[in-house]
Structure 1
Amino acid sequence: MQDSPGTGGLRRSAPVSRRDALRLATAVSALAGLGVAAASAGAPRASAAAPTLIDFAQRQIPARDIRSAGHSGVINYVSTSRPGSTFGAKPITLPYARELTAAGLVIVSNFQYGKPGGTAPSDFTRGYAGGVADARTAWQLHTAAGGGRSAPVFFSVDDDIDRNAWNTLALPWFRGINSVIGVQRTGIYAGINPCQWAIEDGVIGRSGTPGRAWAWQTRSWSRGQVHPAAVLYQRIVSTASNPGPVVGGIEVDVNDVLAQDCGQWNMHP
Structure 2
Amino acid sequence: MQVSRRDVLRYATAASALVGLGAASACAGTPTASAAAPTLIDFAARQIPARDIRAAGHSGVINYVSTSRPGSSFGAKPITLPYAQSLTAAGLVIVSNYQYGKPGGTAPSDFRRGYAGGVADARTAWQLHTAAGGGRSAPIFFSVDEDIDRNTWNSVALPWFRGINSVLGPQRTGIYAGINPCQWAAADGVIGRSSTPGRVWAWQTRSWSGGQVYPAAVLYQRVVSTASNPGPAVGGLSVDVNDVLAQDCGQWNLHP
**TM norm structure 1:** 0.87
Take 2:175 and 2:184, find their aligned partners in 1: how far apart are those partners?
10
- Taking the TM superposition and a 5 Å limit, the aligned residue runs for 1:143-222 are 143-222=130-209
**Runs (5+) with no aligned partner, structure 2:** none
Q: 1:104 to 1:170 in 2, by over 3 A?
A: same
Q: Does 214-223 or 19-28 show the bigger shift?
A: 19-28
Q: 1:152 to 1:30 in 2, by over 3 A?
A: closer
Is the CA contact (8 Å cut-off) linking 1:32 and 1:73 kept in structure 2? no
Matched, 1:120 2:110: no
SS at match of 2:7: coil
Deviations along 1:75-103, whole A, 9 cap, x unmatched?
00000000000000000000000000000
Take 1:35 and 1:140, find their aligned partners in 2: how far apart are those partners?
31
**Runs (5+) with no aligned partner, structure 1:** 1-13
The residue number in structure 2 matching 1:254 is: 241
The residue number in structure 1 matching 2:232 is: 245
Shift of 1:242: 1.1
Deviations along 1:22-45, whole A, 9 cap, x unmatched?
884686487344799x9xxxx9xx
Paired letter, 1:263: G
Take 1:132 and 1:23, find their aligned partners in 2: how far apart are those partners?
35
Take 2:194 and 2:15, find their aligned partners in 1: how far apart are those partners?
22
Q: 1:63 to 1:198 in 2, by over 3 A?
A: same
Alignment: residue pair count:
247
SS at match of 2:161: helix
SS at match of 1:53: strand
Q: Which runs of 4+ in 1 moved over 2 A?
A: 14-17, 19-36
Shift of 1:16: 2.8
Q: Percent identity at matched positions?
A: 82
Deviations along 1:114-138, whole A, 9 cap, x unmatched?
0001000000000000000000000
Q: 1:114 to 1:30 in 2, by over 3 A?
A: closer
Deviations along 1:194-251, whole A, 9 cap, x unmatched?
0000001000000000100000000000000000100000000001111100000100
Take 2:246 and 2:7, find their aligned partners in 1: how far apart are those partners?
16
Take 2:152 and 2:12, find their aligned partners in 1: how far apart are those partners?
43
CA RMSD of superposed structures (Å): 2.3
Q: 1:35 to 1:187 in 2, by over 3 A?
A: farther
Paired letter, 2:137: S
**TM norm structure 2:** 0.91
Is the CA contact (8 Å cut-off) linking 1:77 and 1:90 kept in structure 2? yes
The residue number in structure 2 matching 1:16 is: 7
Shift of 1:144: 0.1
Shift of 1:48: 7.1
